[in-house]
Chain A
Amino acid sequence: MIPELGQVALILALLLAMVQTVAPLWGSFTGSRVLMGLAKPAVTGQLVFAIVAFGALTYAFVTHDFSVAFVAGHSNSELPVFYRVGAVWGGHEGSLLLWILVLAIWSVLVAAFSGHMPERFVARVLGVLGVVAVGFLSFTLFTSNPFDRLIPAPADGQDLNPILQDPALMIHPPLLYIGYVGFSVAFAFAIAALLEGRLDAAWARWTRPWTTAAWVFLTLGISLGSWWAYYELGWGGWWFWDPVENASFLPWLIGTALIHSLAVTEKRGLFRSWTLLLAITAFSLSLLGTFLVRSGILVSVHAFATDPSRGLYILVFMGIVTGAALALYAWRAPMLTSDAGFRPMSRESFVLANNILLVIATALILLGTLYPLFMDALNLGKVSVGPPYFDLAFMIPMFPLMLLMGMGMHVMWRQMSVSVLARKLRVPAVIAVIAGVTLPLVFYGSAGMLTIVGSIAAFWVMLTALIDLLPGRGPARLTSSHIGMCLAHFGLGMLILGVTFVSSYDAEADRAAVPGQPIEVAGYEFTMFGTRGVEGPNFSAIEAEVEVRLDGELVTMLYPQKRVYRVQRDPVTQTAIAAGWRRDLLVSMGEPLGEGAWSVRIQYKPLVRFIWLGTLVMAIGGLFALSDRRYRLARRRSTEPLADGRAPAPGGGS
């Protein structure tokens, strides 16, 4: 009964989403306040039914209802309850339901915090969000129903994919989806502005916190995914340039550009049509990601079930949503351009450079991701594009970005003299060069050119980000959005530090571990003593005991496992990790070699923690920016003149 209840709730949510689309958009053109007023109750009702549907599927998982095909495919009677809840989004159908729930939550939040915006604008924003909701609800209902029954019901389920049985599974997809879907809000704001034919400083101020919030979640989601891959897959890598990873990274890059360009639009009224295009692109790339993941059009480790009918549906949906948005953009954006110029030595130019470099990086990664598809479609053969391309293509725009970022943070709006800037940045530049050269040479012996450049860039970004936070150095009144900016940039510096050192100095060895005989990697001695059997709730494992010593001193004991999950039979390697500020040590088990010996892989990863710590600091920076009191004040004033004193010109350019 409960799954049918979920099914009905999903249908009702679809009907309400249709109301949410048609009524307010229609009303916004005819000026009917009644029709526009329908948007909020419709969106609230949609959230209620989305919760019911999600709850029903969770209930089916918790109670082991294997007559539901999706449950039978992704759970098992031995699966612990914690993972049964996470298994709701452990497959294609259920993760779409999560997407729908997240979209409904965002939409309701927009409806709830829009009191200060004009009624017609809010109606249009909610109407656009309704279009997205209709698309995903009908996609779920017509091609990927999570409530489909399997008659006769199997006695037991096939279990959740063992690599998904990890606490990170519980939070990685929700965070990622909150970020992905969050860009739909910026998208809706952009479309509403295009429909209005008007874009002012207030618009930018309304859009900024929503964009930043989505960006924070996406940052955390991607970072958690990287961390999860690192310790769960046990390959010791933290980023693989897999198409699906790229699918989440592309909207992140454009979202980052959007955050910066919105700042210019708010403060100076410039970059308007560009900002709109970025907002449309960020969400379109989220849709593209969904398409790439769900259609099986590219080969990926994340592949969901391949099904052309699903792929075709998303393709058509993406064609309609993005196509209509871009058509509207081509028609209306020329009216919104501003011909006010800016000087080369101004914050505006630096943000422009930031945007251009981020867009170049996005384009290069998109090209690499889709290249196999292009080649195949043109019958030029099957190719795959690997990390060597992506590493290089990404690095090229990143180095100038780092250099300019350190300066851009300290350049004023409008204009600034080069000598003032030079005086401010002289000290951090010198320290960055000294620290950047010393650290690799002193602590790690030798260093290549790339290592030194990366290390200098990391210190440069971190130091320049810190200046304004030092007492007496920064602006007289530090706003929380300024603190947020400094923190986010500092976090990026930490990330670069981690990436540079782990890619320059990591070491690994694949060896036969004979009990009692030490293996040396990067100065550490690893000794395996033996193995024993271990029983988990739904798996059996062989666990090795490995002692790690540095210069004769005991560092830690590691216990890697080789697990066999009872239902899905394939062996899974559970890597043991000794985490530390300065390095991680990883040991994973391969195959038994007889007489107690095992093949093992030992890895040494210097400063790898800085990668995830850095992204965490970036996200915290985003939270600071969100908490700025400017956004709360803005709620009281509905519109106001552009920051540079010109009155907003209805219907177009100034």
Chain B
Amino acid sequence: MWRFVLVPAAFIVLLGFFLVGLFRDPTLVPSPLINQPAPAFELPQLLEPERTLGLADLATGEPVLLNVWATWCVGCRQEHGLLVDLARRGEIPIYGLNWKDDNEAAIHWLQRLGDPYVSTAVDADGRVAIDWGVYGAPETFLLDGQGIIRYKHIGPLTEDIWQREFRPRIAALQQGRS
């Protein structure tokens, strides 16, 4: 009667594959930009439109974050509290890239929910985001002090991801420098 056991056995093997697959991300195609110099840009700042923010401002010698956000994105709202916390704790300077957004709404958002960014660049037509290979907001890039992208996270940041993925990398960057 082995033939009646064959199907359940095959099913168990299948479940095993699903279990493994569940903890992998099929969309996680390693970014070709990792460990490469970040694409250059020069964009007007959100709060002071007469001044610009560019890649040179990000290469301060210290590791920095570049966070891609927009007011129309719920994931950005979700991670915003964490970003404000990180800025308040002074963990790392955070720069913003306000992506395909309405300036007024974006300023209002920062006034209401707090402004974690040292400065925010306005990428109204999304061209810089394309250069940076942005899939969708929110995305967060970790740059070392020389303007080289060291890590990239797609989707909202959480405390857990911060502790697991960002902290050790930032510590390593700081160590490597000193």
Contact = CB atoms under 8 A, between A and B. Distances in A.
Contacts of B11: 284, 322-323, 326
Interface string A564-588: 0001110000000000000000000
Interface in A265-279: 273, 277
Interface stretch (A204-212, A307-315, A455-463, A607-615): A307-315
A299 interface: yes
B72 interface: yes
B100 interface: yes
A377 interface: yes
A251 to B, nearest CB: 15
Interface stretch (B12-20, B48-56, B82-90, B163-171): B12-20
A382 interface: yes
Given A322-B11, A372-B26, A377-B17, A273 B4 contact: yes
Interface string B42-76: 00000000000000000000000000000010100
Contacts of B26: 296-299, 372-373, 376, 382
Contact of B7 (A306, A326, A370): A326
Contacts of B1: 334
A273 B74 CA distance: 50
Interface in A305-336: 306, 308, 311-312, 315, 318-319, 322-323, 326-327, 329-330, 333-334
B100 A569 contact: yes
A45 interface: no
Contacts of B27: 296, 299, 306
Interface residues of A, dominant DSSP: helix
A329 B22 CA distance: 27
B74 A73 contact: yes
Contacts of B14: 370
A356 to B, nearest CB: 15
Given A158-B72, A329-B4, A311 B22 contact: yes
Interface in B119-134: none
Nearest to B10: A326
A373 B18 contact: yes
A451 interface: no
B23 interface: yes
B4 A330 contact: yes
Contact of B24 (A327, A377, A567): A377
Contact of B19 (A306, A315, A568): A315
Interface string A57-92: 000000000000000110000000000000000000
B59 to A, nearest CB: 32
A291 interface: yes
Contact of B22 (A308, A322, A382, A568): A308
A591 B177 CA distance: 48
B118 interface: no
Contacts of A311: 22
Nearest to B11: A326
A308 B21 CA distance: 10
The dominant DSSP class at the B interface is helix
A72 B73 CA distance: 11
A374 interface: yes
B5 interface: yes
A329 B8 contact: yes
B123 to A, nearest CB: 13
A299 B74 CA distance: 22
Nearest to B15: A319
A370 B8 CA distance: 18
Interface in A491-545: none
Contacts of A464: none
A295 interface: yes
A326 B15 CA distance: 13
Given A158-B74, A298-B26, A567-B72, A377 B20 contact: yes
Contacts of B4: 273, 329-330, 333-334
- Among B4, B11, B17, B26, which residue has the most Cβ atoms of chain A within 10 A? B26
A354 B8 CA distance: 23
Interface string A284-308: 1000000100011111000000101
A437 B142 CA distance: 64
A297 B74 contact: no
Residue picked from B4, B12, B29, B72, most chain A C-beta under 10 Å: B4
A297 B74 CA distance: 22
Contacts of A330: 4-5, 7-8
Nearest to A570: B100
Contact of B17 (A308, A333, A373): A373
Interface in B73-126: 74, 100
B22 A315 contact: yes
Contact of B21 (A277, A306, A318, A376): A376
B18 A297 contact: yes
Nearest to B27: A299
Interface centre among B22, B29, B72 (most CB of A within 10 A): B22
Contacts of A326: 7-8, 11
Nearest to B28: A382
Nearest to B71: A154
Contacts of A158: 72, 74
B3 to A, nearest CB: 9
Interface in A339-386: 370, 372-374, 376-377, 382
A437 B54 CA distance: 67
Nearest to B22: A311
Contacts of A370: 14, 17
Contacts of A569: 72, 100
A327 B7 CA distance: 9
Given A284-B11, A330-B7, A377-B17, 16 more contacts: A291-B18, A296-B25, A306-B25, A308-B22, A308-B23, A315-B18, A315-B22, A323-B8, A323-B12, A326-B7, A329-B8, A330-B4, A370-B14, A376-B21, A377-B21, A377-B24
Interface of A: 72-73, 158, 273, 277, 284, 291, 295-299, 306, 308, 311-312, 315, 318-319, 322-323, 326-327, 329-330, 333-334, 370, 372-374, 376-377, 382, 567-569
14 contacts: A158-B74, A273-B4, A284-B11, A295-B22, A296-B26, A297-B26, A315-B22, A323-B12, A329-B4, A330-B5, A330-B7, A373-B18, A376-B21, A377-B20
The 7 closest A-B pairs by CB, nearest first: A326-B8, A377-B20, A373-B21, A330-B4, A299-B26, A311-B22, A297-B21
